Amino acid sequence: MRRIITLLVGLFVAGVAWAQQTQQAGEKLTLEQCVQYALENSIAAKNADIDKRIAKAKVSETVGIGLPQITGTGSVVYNQKLPRFFTTYKADGSSFVAIPDSTAQKLGLKDGDVVAAQNFFQLKAAGNAQVSINQILFSGSYLVGLKASNVYRDLSAKSAMQTNQTIIQQVTKAYYAVLINKERLTLFEDNIARVDSLLRNTKALNQNGFAENIDVDRVRVTYNNLTAERDKFLNLNDLGINLLKYQMNYPFDKPLEVVGNIQDVQVDVNSYSSNPDWDYKIRPDYQVLETNYKLQQLNIRNMQTASMPSLSAFATLGYSTQSPGVGGIFKTNTSMNEQLGNQMGIGPDKWYGFSQFGVNLNVPIFSGLQRHYRTQQEKLKLIQLENNFVYLKRSIDMEVNQTSTNFQNALKTLVAQKENQQLAANIARVTKIKYEQGVGSSLEVTDAENSLRTAQTNYYSALFDAMVAKVDLDKAYGKLLPAYQSMNSQPENK
């Protein structure tokens, strides 16, 4: 039994240790996976998705305007003091309220006097319950609003594409920075191993009398500088990973490891030769401007349709009652003979139904020229958008030219620095061989190592600049987004 318990405990401890090791290792993500994670989890992407959902709800709201509008109301009113009923006294008895002659003589009324009688047409408490129905039959503004709501939904989708493009650009740059740092860390370890081997050989030569102490010190200085630079670079590498996590909205306390090889990144200039088929409409910002232009056109049409007649139907169904007190509203007194009451045109104390229906025709005639000037304002805004098309095209042209030039210069610098690194590596190798054979000095070796380290740093800096320039060039040409996303729902030619 003890053996079984011991075995189970051992398996549990091993499982916990494996889980902790797996958690410590963190996720391993490629560039595509980093971008996908950012598009699903970054705050900007989430807000863009919410905007799309808001636009969808806005469309449904606009459609709902054309559906029947039904409202139910109910009220109970108690008039503590009813207003009086006013009439004129007629001696011949033709007044609406007949006043006996004896009462008129007692009150001293004369023919034509105004009499304020008690309101016997209304009881103090009243109840009312009704349902009102309204239905649009024709409205030019509603028809334009339906079209505008769909364009508004399209605008939210285009804006989301623009947001995704920015996210892809930022995540790609941060990923490349981590990838470059990963390669440089490997290079640091190789350099340290090579200098460490040189240091051991120099110490052996010194012990045998073939090298001086100063030779050992020079190599040790180089070794110490390399290890110190590596330690500083480790901190910078952590900072780069945190920047990538920030762009992805990835938890800072969760480990992350990038997967990829720097040699797999393509920075070929031939992929961006003159392209006559390139179109501004590929750019998300241009698509957003086109959609705004359509919205403004519909806004002008909406202003114009405001002068058109509108037709709607209505119906009201309900019940009402009155009583001397509030309590009587909620109970009925049917002591009166209902059949007799109907014959006399009166009824017992209960809720009586009423109904009405009809159509409303609204014909705008004159609005003090307000609609005219509002339309003029919207037309001027449309001209502003047309000017923005010209400005955006020139800005895109400038961005394409600038990023193309930066990319060309970065490639030229990369080619030169790559050659310099190869030359510096060859010089360091030959200098070390000459020193070990006794025909060179330790000073030449340390100088060659320093030159190699500088050439390597310059090469990776140039490589990163070329990769970043490639990303900016892709963004300028609208190629950062997937093809299905950037070409979906192409707007009409303006």
DSSP H or E run through 16: helix 2-25
Does domain 28-65+139-308+368-486 fall under CATH 1.20.1600.10? My reply is yes
Category of 363 on φ-ψ map: left (φ > 0), alpha (ψ -120 to 50) or beta: beta
SS3 122: coil
Tokens for 141?
């503004």
Which two tokens mark 187?
A: 């290079």
Cβ(398)–Cβ(285) below 8 Å: no
180 class by beta-carbon count within 10 Å (0-12 exposed, 13-18 middle, 19+ buried)? buried
From the list 489, 409, 2, 33, the residue with the least C-alpha distance to 256 is 33
* Domains in the chain: boundaries: 28-65+139-308+368-486, 70-82+126-137+310-363, 86-121
Phi then psi dihedrals of residue 134, to 5 deg: -130, 140
DSSP characters over 414-436: HHHHHHHHHHHHHHHHHHHHHHH
- 269-276: Cβ within 8 A, 24+ apart: 269/407, 269/408, 269/411, 272/404, 272/407, 272/473, 272/477, 275/477
Amino acid 328: pLDDT = 79
Give the pTM: 0.76
What does the pLDDT profile of the chain (494 residues) look like in tens digits?
A: 455 545 444 544 444 444 444 444 568 898 889 999 999 999 999 999 999 999 999 899 899 999 999 999 999 999 988 888 787 877 776 666 666 777 777 777 777 788 777 777 788 899 999 999 999 999 988 999 899 999 999 999 999 999 999 999 999 999 999 989 888 888 888 888 888 888 888 888 788 877 788 888 888 888 898 888 888 888 888 899 999 999 999 999 999 998 887 777 766 656 555 555 678 998 999 999 999 999 999 999 998 888 899 999 999 999 998 888 888 788 765 444 555 445 545 566 688 899 999 999 999 888 888 888 989 999 999 999 999 999 999 999 999 999 999 999 999 999 999 999 999 999 989 988 888 787 778 788 888 888 988 899 899 999 999 999 999 998 999 888 753 354 344 444 44
pLDDT at position 8: 45
What's the pLDDT score for residue 442? 78
CA–CA separation, 272 vs 230, rounded Å? 37
Of 239, 237, 242, 243, the C-alpha closest to 173 is 243
Q: Using alpha carbons, select from 103, 168, 137 the residue that is nearest to residue 310.
A: 137
Tokens linked to 378 = 């919207």
Q: How many CB atoms lie within 10 A of CB 48?
A: 20
Position 317 scores a pLDDT of 95
